[in-house]
Chain A
Amino acid sequence: MLTREKYSYYVEPSALEVTDRPRKFLAAFAAVLEHSNYGAALDTYCRLSAKCARCAASCQLYEASLESRDIPCRRSDLLFRVYRRYFTQAGVVKARLFGGFTLTDEYLDEMAEEFYRCTACRRCKVTCPIGIDHGLITHLARWLLAEIDVIPKALLVSVREQLEGVGNTSAIPVPALKDTCEFLEEEFQDLYNVEIKFPFDVEGAEYVFFPAVSDYLLEADTLMGNAAVMHVTNGSWTIGTGNYDGINYGLFYSDRMMERIVNNVVAEVRRLRASKVLVGECGHATRSAWFIPTFAGLDAPPVVNCMEYAHQMLEAGKIPLKDTRIEERVTYHDPCNIARGGRITEEPREILRAICRDYVEMTPNRTRNYCCGGGGGTVSIDEIRSFRTGPMGKRKAEQIRATEAQVVVSPCANCKKQLREVCEDNELEDVEVVGLHDLLLKVIDFGTAESTATETHEEYQNREQPETGAVQSKIAE
């Protein structure tokens, strides 16, 4: 039963039967203000927002759509109005005197629609003269909407699967996981004639590996790249069969879910008595992992992104490289979640400069980069693909076209899926979107004969991809 007519994205049928939503929304809002730290930020933003629309100049969605509802300040004002009316003394007095605004269902629907057009890439925070973080407001608004069951079905189903179902967002049972890994090991054998094992449940390993679980289905090369790097640098790592999913859609729509998912990750690390968390190539997985100290308290396991690890090893010269380099023109896309705060921007660039002959930068980049268009979980909502690749992704497509690069490196599962869709829909078919470790895989010298055979780009292209239908069907119904 398609529930498409209410919002531009699917919602659980039960969400439509929720009655008395404004009261529940206000109750949730009061509870969140009570227990969280959002109160002070929200109050400061309500007072200071100067409505100067400078953020409009930096929001790629507004530049493309030019609709006034897409101005970040206006979208956040939806929530500010509710806060001012119900949660400030002045608002209540004004309401008592002049009647004024009351929260209605239509208003909530408008909020639901607006807040899922924004990918919370926080590009507007950088240019806002007052420093208002509209990404934070979107994050908070989505949590409040989630409390009245307005959650995109794609995210809801994945999280339900992760917390109550099989244990990860793509519902990959452990045997399927092992089977994929064996397949990859065979791949190593015949491609590079090297014996690389995917270690499972190694007690006391230094790293527990948490990639985006969709890598096991979609990004075999990235996994192989990761395994290769770990093998070559003989880092002690393992994959926890209890929980091998770094994805955390809670970050996108509900702190409640995020808290539970992060606690699961920490529990797994504790179960394996490992010391560190190694996050695979995924922007939001890394960012969620950075919240581990928040939830796990003082003795939280430190978090290392696989790129940071690879860069560290490369600097230390522990990764033997072939003398051949990647020939094609390569450019790098900064995933918002790890680049906006400026935490991981230089490491991937140095690796790429080391292994590519023709590396070129997109402009703007690093902390002021454009969002791939599918951030904030919107990538898994396929029904709004036209919106994502259209208004949202247009700016990105132009950026890629400007660099004329053949290969776009993006160390984030969501970004890769989105960028591939953007390239398909914006006549950039010949551009290939890969992860950083895919390229690393090609240049690592395993020290065995076969490894010298450079596999040309085309052979790689038409190699048979593992079956991906399973995920699609799961999300659709």
Chain B
Amino acid sequence: MNRRLLILKTALWALVGVLAVVTVARFVNGLGAVTNLSDAAPWGLWIGFDVMGGVALAAGGFVIAATVYIFGLERYRPFVRPAILTAFLGYVAVAIGLLYDLGVPWHIWYPVRYWQYHSALFEVAACVILYLTVLTLEFAPVVLEHPLFDKPLLQKVLSALRRVTIPLVIAGIVLSTLHQSSLGSLFLITPYRLHPLWYSPIMYVLFFISAVGLGLMMVTVESLLAAFFLDHKVHKRLLSGLGLAAAAVLGSYAVLRVGDLAVRGVLTSYLDSSWQSLLFVSELAISAIIPAGLLLIRRVRSSIGGLALCSALTVLGMVMYRLDVAIIAFARPEHLAYFPSWMEFAVTLGIVATFILIFIFFVENFRVYEDIGRPAAGPGPSHDPATLHALLPHRLALPRRFSLAAIAAAAVAVVFLPQQAITGVVPASTPVAASRTVDGVPVRRDGGGRKLQLLDRIDGVPEGMPFLMIDGNRNGYPVLFDHKAHEARLESDRSCGICHHIDKPFDRNTACFECHGDMYEPVSIFDHASHVAQLEGNAGCIQCHEQQAMEKTAETATACAECHADLVSPLSLVEAPADRWRDAVGYMEAMHGLCVHCHEASLAEDPENVPAALDRCDTCHDADRPIELQRMAPHATADRGEGAGQ
């Protein structure tokens, strides 16, 4: 086991450690806790990369199978087994990746039970499931050759499988053609969301050809990586042959793609300098034009560096194509723009790492590559006393080394887990700001209601009067509250308690926002710091927490009422819930509870001398006001979306 492979495996085990932690967080706290997915971005990295990218990357299997078994090009035989193994592991990785993405993962097999063949996704699911079984049968002989399985029954199965290889390969090609293409037709139904540069009626053809090109290049990448890490001898002449075929396929893909744009007349729109057209040009260049061009040159095609560069570019480009279609070019409102959370990357990388480890396991223990049987016992570590290498033999050292890497990475991952990945999705908090007093003049409204007009100080109209501009979440839709008028109606200063139903010590009109701290979510009103400060630090603890040993929580502390008897005002409109001392409801609910309740009550009592539309929303929430506010308070931007649909 050479040093490079050792480092690679350690890194992969670290990724597996992180995957383990994120898996627990994902399945314990659901999708919302771990991903940045939203209603506007239902499909994210896991669908874009794991499913669509993974399926394309695993296309090498059927391409090479076709080349060798159908087109009879025997000299590409050494590529068959690694390609089939990559395809098999790729599809299992797709299935596992899907388990993470599905809301109800244990229903993953339902497409077998419920058929809805009008859906492109049904065709994808059916073909993937069938192709997975075909791949398992195609790959089974490699496993059954192992001396471990030479039981008579298994050998019979092995020989049966060997005989049925050709039909299997043909079935594999047919199924691959179907689902590689139908992955493209998934997006035919969303012409309005997918950017015209990517949307086209023949997307399935483009997906299929790009998959074939990618398959050829993936086989090249895989044998180069195997050479680098597993000391596998590279068949340069064969790879250059593949390179030429890939050049042909990628070239035709590029021509077809641009041609399709021209035919649909969209070509002109991509000349503008929007980021979509920039993305389109770079993607097409990376995925097809540059590699195809380079691969046509013989010198590039037959040099390791050239092959590596082109195959890397193609792989990157084709994966970008999948991601563009699934995520980036998929329109969604700005305020819900989607970028995968680090946990989504962790799961993707974790799954890839797990399957590379399994790939290496298969390569080392089964005859996948001709020249890598048992790993050659490399030169033992030098036992010279001054050596700085650990001499512990692999049998003892490797399990410890890998488990250490996994556990250390897992620990780091736990540290970076956001709060909602640990405790479940938590509603976003919207802090509440104080209301402000501003001058204004009541203006008669045509609908009979009294409309309040904001005044600018410079206008200086004498009869203007101060009233409160209540805009808790500063979204630019303030409610104008005529404090004076209410005071007059409720008989001046004795009536403060009606609204100010709980006041802080030595304060008879504590403002609403001081207790109702969050716009929508209940918030605790108990301020521990000030209590500790007032009760002379440590010595004060026992005044509330009598039982010293018990856990110091709200439940075990003495009740607030014992010290604060007089703060609840008798006149209060708000009926006193039992544990009023702890949680104050959301600011919106509190205001509506108090104002709307009172408005409806007074409207019901004497409808005559009370303005009719008192209980209508726009009496207080005046939709037109933001325009004025803009003039007076430019900083308060109206950030309200135009509407959910858009």
Contacts and interface: CB of A to CB of B under 8 A. Distances in A.
Interface in B386-425: 386-393, 395-397, 400-401, 404
B388 A102 contact: no
A87 interface: yes
B392 A23 contact: no
A440 B384 CA distance: 58
B388 A87 contact: no
Interface string A36-60: 0001000100000000000000000
Given A33-B396, A39-B396, A89-B401, A102 B390 contact: no
A354 interface: no
A34 B385 contact: no
B240 to A, nearest CB: 43
Nearest to A105: B385
B385 A95 contact: no
Contacts of A24: 383
Given A87-B390, A88-B390, A92-B390, A30 B385 contact: no
A92 B389 contact: yes
Nearest to A33: B393
A249 interface: no
A26 interface: yes
A86 B386 contact: no
Contact of A96 (B388, B391, B400, B401): B388
B-side interface mostly: loop
Nearest to B395: A34
B392 A88 contact: yes
A100 to B, nearest CB: 11
Contacts, number: 49
Contacts of A30: 380-381, 383, 391-393
Interface string A69-107: 000000000000000001111011001100000111000
B392 A33 contact: yes
B393 A23 contact: no
A-side interface mostly: helix
Among A26, A102, A103, max chain B CB count under 10 A is at A26
A33 B390 CA distance: 13
A22 interface: yes
B401 A86 contact: no
A15 interface: no
Contacts of A29: 391
B235 to A, nearest CB: 36
A130 interface: no
Contacts of A86: 387, 390-391
Nearest to A20: B384
A26 B383 contact: yes
B213 to A, nearest CB: 45
Given A30-B380, A30-B383, A92 B388 contact: yes
A166 interface: no
A27 interface: yes
Among B387, B392, B397, max chain A CB count under 10 A is at B392
Given A23-B383, A26-B385, A89-B401, A34 B393 contact: yes
A89 B396 CA distance: 12
A102 B396 contact: no
Contacts of B392: 30, 33, 39, 87-88
A34 B391 CA distance: 10
Contacts of A26: 383-385, 391
A30 B381 CA distance: 10
Nearest to A21: B385
Contacts of A87: 390-392
Contacts of B387: 86
A87 B381 CA distance: 11
A88 B392 CA distance: 7
Contacts of B395: 34
A23 B384 CA distance: 5
B390 A103 contact: no
Contacts of A92: 388-390
Nearest to B400: A89
A43 B399 CA distance: 14
Contacts of A23: 383-385
A22 B385 contact: yes
Interface string A398-417: 00000000000000000000
Contacts of B400: 89
A22 B382 CA distance: 12
B405 to A, nearest CB: 11
Contacts of B396: 33-34, 39, 43
B385 A104 contact: yes
A91 B387 CA distance: 12
Nearest to A29: B391
Nearest to B389: A92
Contacts of A104: 385
A27 B383 CA distance: 6
A129 to B, nearest CB: 26
B295 to A, nearest CB: 45
A88 B404 CA distance: 13
A43 B390 CA distance: 14
A33 B391 CA distance: 10
A383 B310 CA distance: 77
A33 B396 CA distance: 8
A106 to B, nearest CB: 12
A25 to B, nearest CB: 8
Contacts of A88: 390, 392
A89 B383 CA distance: 15
A47 to B, nearest CB: 12
Interface string B284-324: 00000000000000000000000000000000000000000
Contacts of A43: 396
Nearest to B394: A34
Given A23-B383, A34-B395, A95 B388 contact: yes
A34 B380 CA distance: 12
Interface string B354-394: 00000000000000000000000000110111111111110
A88 B387 CA distance: 13
B390 to A, nearest CB: 5
Contacts of B404: 89
A329 to B, nearest CB: 54
A32 to B, nearest CB: 10
Contacts of A96: 388
A26 B391 CA distance: 8
A43 B393 CA distance: 13
Nearest to A22: B385
A104 B385 CA distance: 8
Nearest to B388: A96
A86 B381 CA distance: 11
A172 to B, nearest CB: 41
A95 B385 CA distance: 11
Contacts of A39: 392, 396
A103 to B, nearest CB: 4
Interface in A93-145: 95-96, 102-104
Among A43, A86, A91, A102, max chain B CB count under 10 A is at A86
A104 B386 CA distance: 10
A103 B385 contact: yes
A26 B401 CA distance: 21
A95 B400 CA distance: 20
A437 B383 CA distance: 52
Contacts of B386: 102
Contacts of B381: 30
Given A26-B384, A92-B388, A102-B385, 4 more contacts: A23-B385, A29-B391, A34-B395, A95-B388
Closest 5 CB pairs of A and B: A34-B393, A26-B383, A22-B385, A27-B383, A103-B385
Interface of A: 22-24, 26-27, 29-30, 33-34, 39, 43, 86-89, 91-92, 95-96, 102-104
22 contacts: A22-B385, A23-B383, A26-B383, A26-B385, A26-B391, A30-B380, A30-B381, A30-B391, A30-B392, A30-B393, A33-B392, A34-B395, A39-B392, A87-B392, A92-B388, A92-B389, A92-B390, A95-B388, A96-B388, A102-B385, A103-B385, A104-B385
